[in-house]
Amino acid sequence: MGSCCSSELAETQLEKQKQKQKQKQKQKQKQKHQQHQPQRASFSLHHAPPPAAVGAAPAAFAEFSLAELKAATGGFSSDNIVSESGEKAPNLVYKGRLQNRTWIAVKKFTRMAWPDPKQFAEEAWGVGKLRHRRLANLIGYCCDGDERLLVAEYMPNDTLAKHLFHWENQTIEWAMRLRVAFYIAEALEYCSDEGRPLYHDLNAYRVLFDEDGDPCLSCFGLMKNSRDGKSYSTNLAYTPPEYLRNGRVTPESVIFSFGTVLLDLLSGKRIPPSHALDMIRGKNILLLMDSHLEGNFSTEEATALVDLASRCLQYEPRERPSTKDLVATLAPLQPKSEVPSHVMLGISKEEETPAPQHPLSPMGEACSRMDLTAIHQILVMTHYRDDEGTNELSFQEWTQQMKDMLDARKRGDYAFRDKDFKTAIDCYTQFIDVGTMVSPTVYARRSLCHLMCDQADAALRDGMQAQCVYPDWPTAFYMQAVALAKLNMHSDATDMLNEAAGLEEKRQRGGKGT
């Protein structure tokens, strides 16, 4: 392709990419439909494995540097905060991605919540020994100066609170609610058997859904919010009565909190235990049930769950069931055991994006992490050095029009540097529309500006135009990769990322210098 590549060609390429993705999605939906026909169902849940048989082993526990976690979370960007806004816990949880492309959740404690780094490390190592498929496992920690951070497996499908209290597409069906109760009971039993029976502030925000839609218990609740701080951050109406008396968490306190989660699952809303118990004693079980279920539940199963919740919420700790009792009661109450969790939740299961075939440069790493801030910093530092040789201008072309055009580019560069992306788009567009001079860097910069303004289609077109001007320029391919990922065209994004990394590798072996 030459430097005179038209925008019409870029539009055609974009439509081809979209058509290709639609065909892939139709094929996946067809396969999914065939897979879920009753006579061909092949799913099973493998109930209650022994702790040693917990499936694929998560990452080994490790100590991370603060620099690693800063890079993974975009400098702890507010855009990467994933903790629920309604949660009153004083610590923030960030989504991040390590250099090996592993997604992580990072809990950042308030300053000096754990003054003694040795105590924090010992507590983290204790929790880090736990490994179970019903846990969002702890895979590391960081002690650096006053900073204290925990690193866990990332769960991409939100919290139970989000699905129960703030749902947008569909409420959780009855069979899935029973599965949540059972899986969390399994997690608590495992922790208890492994000598970690205390769980702080168990509630619907602590139950997370993994990439398969399976419910998991957050490992963060296995550590207090601070060395000497409170163990409960929720409303006192949901706090175990013995904690109000002496401020101590016991294994029986955890059972009480599990009872409040059962109430959440039954009612679809937060009901104070005292109020719920009054309804139960008055035999008003149907009034307790979530109206959004529209009666689609087994009365026998609902009665069993209500009875279990009532036992968990007993005022005297010794009258509450054990974790083994929870599992034994809930195991038989599991309808639709052949249906995968993501189907019952009504979420699409994303396929794992294959790793790049070539080692990635800083630009490639930033693009693979979708870290727009890092891409911006790299483009600012690179400036226009990759534009050399893309323009051959005669003396006659240096007219007043040329001066105006270069002034527009300069204004665009100032706006780009200052992160005024809308102004940068306007100025770069003035530069491009004159057409006297072509610049792949301007296209790359405007592409990023479009991404920053949630205009992925326009960003993809600019990435394609940059490739037209400079066919072997890795940055052009990188910008297309990010735009394609934003458009949920993940397979094409990976192909583009690999192509960019291959071009960079060729440069390093003696091609055109950077």
Query: At CA 207, angle to CA 342 and CA 343, rounded to 5?
Result: 10
Query: What torsion, rounded to 10 degrees, do the Cα atoms 497, 499, 502, 507 define?
Result: -100
Cα separation of the two ends of the chain: 21
Q: Are strands 147-153 and 92-97 parallel, antiparallel or unpaired?
A: unpaired
Distance, in Å, from the CA atom of 408 to the CA atom of 106, rounded to the nearest integer, reads 42
Place of tokens 């409303």: 235
Distance, in Å, from the CA atom of 284 to the CA atom of 433, rounded to the nearest integer, reads 71
- Sequence-distant (6+) residues with CB within 8 A of 324 are 189
Q: Are strands 138-144 and 62-63 parallel, antiparallel or unpaired?
A: parallel
Distance, in Å, from the CA atom of 101 to the CA atom of 370, rounded to the nearest integer, reads 11
Distance, in Å, from the CA atom of 90 to the CA atom of 293, rounded to the nearest integer, reads 34
Helices (H), 36-84: 66-72
Distance, in Å, from the CA atom of 348 to the CA atom of 350, rounded to the nearest integer, reads 6
Q: Are strands 135-136 and 215-218 parallel, antiparallel or unpaired?
A: parallel
Bridge partners of 149? 108, 142
- In the residue annotation, 201 being an active-site residue is answered as yes
Catalytic member of 144, 201, 454, 472: 201
- 391-397: long-range contacts at Cβ-Cβ below 8 A with a sequence spacing of 24 or more? 391/437, 391/438, 391/439, 393/436, 393/437, 397/436
Q: Which residues are catalytic?
A: 201
